[in-house]
């Protein structure tokens, strides 16, 4: 099966950039995803990248994809306290309408 790994915790100061990393073992997907979970809530899609792209920028968010190394990252520029949340990468599985979620990275933003 698919393994999706993330570090569990990241702490940054307000205004700095945050980089959240994700590695996966296999993917046949055309898309890879980042979800955000705020305290006490369900996950919400944050952004996604098409698998033939290396980079996608969306306002303060930059997604980088290295298919050779099976490495996905999410960069948040000018991190704000409102960005404090758990971030999950998600990699769809072969042949099914299912995804494997990473373990989640809890981002703490220090004022």
User: Which secondary structure element, helix H or strand E, spans residue 36, and what is its range?
Assistant: strand 31-37
Residue from 88, 94, 95, 107 touching another protein (CB under 8 A): that is 88
Residue 27 within binding range of another protein, rule CB under 8 A: no
Pick from 42, 82, 95, 111 the residue near another protein by CB under 8 A.
42
> Of the ranges 15-23, 43-51, 57-65, 76-84, which one interacts with another protein (CB under 8 A)?
43-51
Candidates 53-61, 62-70, 72-80, 95-103; binding stretch for another protein (CB under 8 A): 95-103
Burial group, residue 78, by CB count within 10 angstroms (0-12, 13-18, 19+) = exposed
Query: Cα(105)–Cα(101) distance, rounded to whole angstroms?
Result: 11
């Amino acid at each position: 099966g698919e393994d999706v790994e993330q570090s569990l915790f990241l702490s940054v100061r307000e205004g700095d950039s945050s980089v959240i990393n994700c590695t996966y073992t296999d993917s046949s997907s055309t898309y890879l995803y980042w979800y955000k979970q705020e305290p006490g809530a369900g996950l919400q899609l944050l952004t996604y990248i098409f698998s033939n792209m290396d980079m996608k920028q969306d306002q303060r968010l930059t997604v980088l994809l290295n298919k050779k190394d099976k490495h996905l990252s999410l960069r948040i520029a000018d991190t704000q306290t409102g960005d404090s949340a758990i971030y999950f990468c998600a990699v769809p599985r072969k042949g099914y309408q299912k995804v494997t979620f990473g373990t989640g990275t809890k981002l703490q933003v220090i004022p």
